[in-house]
Amino acid sequence: MPIPLQRLFTYQITEAEASFLEPGMRVAVEFGKSKIYTALVAEIHQQPPTAYEAKDIFQILDKESIVTQKQLEHWQWIAEYYLCSVGEVMRSALPSALLLESETQVLKNQQFVDVDDLSDDEFLIIEALEHQSILPLQKISDILDKKRILPIIHNLLEKKAVVIKEEIIEQYKPKLVDYIKLSEEYTSDEKLNELLNDLSRAKQQHNTVLTYFSLQAQTKKPIKLKQLKDAGGVSDAVIKALLDKNIFEKYHIQTDRVIFDDATDRLKQLTDYQLEAFESIKDQFNTKDVVLLHGITSSGKTEIYVKLIDEVLQQGKQVLYLVPEIALTTQLIQRLQRYFGNKIAVFHSKYSLNERVEVWNNVLHNSENAQLILGPRSALFLPFSELGFVIVDEEHETSYKQFDPAPRYHARDTAIVLASQHNAKVLLGSATPSIESYYNVNQQKYGLVELNRRYQDILLPEIELVDIKEGYRKKRMTGHFSERLFLLIEEALREKEQIILFQNRRGYSPVVECKACGVAPQCVNCDVSLTYHKFSNELRCHYCGYHIPLPETCGACGSPTLDTKGFGTEQIELELQEFFPDAKAARMDLDTTRGKYGYQKILDAFKAHDIDILVGTQMLSKGLDFANVSLVGVLNADNMLNFPDFRAHEKSFQLLTQVSGRAGRAKKRGKVIIQTYNPYHQILQQVTTNDFVTMYKEQLDERYAHNYPPLARLVKITLKHKDYIKVNSAAEWLYKSFYNSFGTLVLGPTSPAISRIRNQHIKTLLIKLPKDKPLKQSKAIIQKIKNSFQSIADFRAVRFNVDVDSY
């Protein structure tokens, strides 16, 4: 069941139901007093439960299994490895349209007559039930214009004025397209002539029938109703008249909401270096199940993927292509569609509920239009039946890690387990591999193939470090642009080339501060300052969404002198409009890409050269390919380097190398300007020379010294509660319990950098598990302590989250 409980539950069924049901089918079951949930059949057995009486199932929801046996096994592995329940995995894996939950419906008790005892709100509900016999809670909320309506319903129940019942609401609705055909009666020429003579006076009906024959002759396919209306300019009344006379018959055909066009291009010829890498990958697959393709930016990794995908598809097997960001799927779809046409299926959260259910069903039935599945981490939960190959592109990306809610899985590692269940091969691709993956290569667990030449032998971009400390001291900065970056932007615009500017912070300014007293407005729900968004002229919290209009005076001292500190993408966009009024600047961050086609609109406009300068956050750094970009500017590299995280230097190297790789991908060599207060930092020096191996060795030495992954496993325990004293005492109790089992391997308890989010105080503990100690045994201890913790009455309300491999 999609609830965070560790165990499975037994329900009783009839013999007929037992012969029909199979593992992976959905059934509606009552759980608790009245709530109805969608449950999945795990197994059918003959052992009745001893601790409780088995209830009957409420309803069978499927004619066939919608989850495969391999999926159930995969979910079980995720639950065991990441210390969560199978129910949490199920809720994360299934499209929410398949997770039917009952909706509470309110009905009037017909015996109730004493309306004088009712409050105004209660009377309004009873009056509404006179007009409509049954009302869902949402409708009652709208009628009263209140969010908290449950106390009012509770009062009505106590007064026996209403009764409630639970009703299952089906969310998925298949898309049906209306088609039209001529009635069987008029198939002979004789009957057809008679029909046309009969309709000679009804001119529009006569013309509609002739239009139908004309379309049939042209297309030789079934005729859609809309097609007939558009071709003949036919009104609904004319169609209705022909249907009433039984001249036409209307029927429906179920169709997918997202359909891709047929393939248009043949596969590109690989260069000698790409071909060598391609053959080497196939060679390595003979001895290794996982291969890491370490190819520098713009080396043509995607073309190698395409060639490998084509070979697997020809064997009649499915391919899963994982990408870290939805933004990447936009460009990839266009590229892959040219080669594979309507064999592609895309699965991500920007798709509607119905579209995701259709992709799920197509993958389940191994449909022709779901052979190559493209998507972010959620795509690995699809019900594959013939999975033959998995690609994890940009495998180093932290976007592959799910942090909240559970299951807190890493898509790269989970995909490797999924592939092993299907006996499929995995290719990890990156210009800057994660230290964990490169470590596994050196431990002989993964194969390694290197691609050190850019496509068409274009040189890597020339990277310059600019000291902005000197720039500010000598007053040579224009806004947030150094003299060197400003000149290069002017030069690129003169040459009609495009520019990408990177600033890993959205909004206008992260802090608004009073010049008189130094107080900055804080979020009321979180321990963080509010970010100023100039476009909407408001202060907004990026953690809980709380927002207020920008105050005109300081809330503490009343002074009108408010000043902004720091800068985000919005401020850079406005500065560009001021300094380069003739250039078209656009912004790509979470604020501008919220809609379904938000990414696509911006990327298409950039590709069509409607945008000259694109400012963005980290979503710009990954795998985007624009031939006309000659300059990339990083406006402040120090934020990332100084972040309190053991992976800060590794992430900075990856992000800066990736964003640099967007420059000079065709024709001429690109330029990259990295602005920093410390140009002599070792990581920045390694970025300028693209020296991944030295960075890897230095970082591995540091992690060896301090016992961090990949040389140890991290398990992070997070406690949350609105009462600080309660969460603090819970953390102390937990530390003592873990210390008894793990000793000095336990770090904490500590408060994170932002110690209160959404009015929940946070405490964390970190357990470093050595690689040589059995992981299963350690996890069993953690689970046992968690169970003991949750059995203490004082701590029951404290949220306890476990995150395995929390990085």
* Strand locations in 682-796 (E): 712-721, 746-750, 756-757, 760-770
Cα–Cα distances (Å) from 81 to 410, 717, 801, in that order, read: 11, 15, 14
For residue range 561-612, list pLDDT tens digits in order: 888 888 888 899 999 999 999 999 998 888 777 766 777 788 888 888 899 9
Q: Name the pTM for this structure.
A: 0.80
Residue 777, token pair as written in the block: 């045994």
Name the phi and psi angles at 516, rounded to 5: -80, -50
> What local confidence, expressed as pLDDT, does residue 789 receive?
93
pLDDT at residue number 166:
60
pLDDT of the residue at 420: 95
Q: What is the pLDDT of residues 731-776, one digit of tens each?
A: 999 999 999 999 999 998 999 988 999 899 999 999 999 887 888 8
Residue 233 confidence (pLDDT) above 90: no
CB 499 within 8 A of CB 614: yes
Single-letter code of the amino acid located at 754: I
Percent of the chain with pLDDT over 70: 95
Cα–Cα nearest to 746, from 733, 765, 729, 763:
765
787 CB-contact burial (10 Å; exposed 0-12 / middle 13-18 / buried 19+): exposed
Distance CA 380, CA 366 (A): 15
What was the pLDDT predicted at 170? 59
Residue 168 has pLDDT above 70, yes or no: no
Q: What is the DSSP letter of 368?
A: G
Mean pLDDT throughout 359-387? 91
Beta-carbon-side half-sphere exposure of residue 201 (alpha carbons within 13 Å):
1
Say how many residues make up the chain. 807
Higher-scoring residue by pLDDT: 443, 145: 443
Query: CA–CA separation, 299 vs 455, rounded Å?
Result: 5
What pLDDT sits at residue 213? 79
Q: Chain-centre distance of CA 590, in angstroms?
A: 13
Overall average pLDDT of the 400-411 stretch: 90
The reported pLDDT for the residue numbered 598 is: 74
Nearest to 270 by CA among 279, 261, 262: 279
- Tokens matching residue 550: 């920008």
pLDDT in tens, 437-477: 999 999 999 999 998 887 767 778 889 999 998 888 888 88
- Runs of H (alpha helix) within 254-325: 272-284, 301-314
Give yes or no for a contact between 438 and 281, defined as CB atoms under 8 angstroms apart.
no
* Of 766, 753, 763, 750, residue with least CA distance to 722: 763
Identify which of 375, 297, 242 has the alpha carbon closest to the alpha carbon of residue 658.
297
Of the pLDDT bands very low, low, confident and very high (cuts 50, 70, 90), residue 623 is low
Structure tokens at 612: 């000259």
pLDDT at 283 over 90: yes
Name the average pLDDT for the chain: 86
The closest of 439, 465, 409, 528 to 673, measured between CA atoms, is 465
Q: Report the pLDDT value the prediction gives residue 253, as an integer from 0 to 100.
A: 74
The dihedrals phi and psi of 426, each to the nearest 5 degrees, come to: -125, 135
Considering 138-147, 242-251, 313-322, 599-608, the range whose residues carry the highest mean pLDDT is 313-322
What pLDDT, in 10s, does the model give residues 65-120? 999 999 999 999 999 999 999 999 998 898 877 877 656 778 888 888 787 788 88
Beta bridge partners of 799: 720
Mean pLDDT of 340-344: 86
> What's the Rg (C-alpha) of the chain?
31
What band does 172 get if pLDDT is binned at 50, 70 and 90?
A: low
pLDDT of residue 264: 63
3-class SS string, 62-125 = CCCCCCCHHHHHHHHHHHHHCCCCHHHHHHHHCCHHHCCCEEEEEEECCCCCCHHHCCHHHHHH
Q: How many Å apart are CA 352 and CA 335, to the nearest integer?
A: 23
Q: What is the pLDDT of residues 686-713, one digit of tens each?
A: 999 889 999 999 999 999 999 999 999 9
- Tell me if residue 577 falls in helix, strand or coil: helix
Amino acid in position 617: T
d(CA 418, CA 227): 44
Task: Write down the pLDDT at residue 169.
Answer: 57
Is the confidence at residue 256, as pLDDT, over 70? no
At 548, list the tokens. Answer: 């207020």
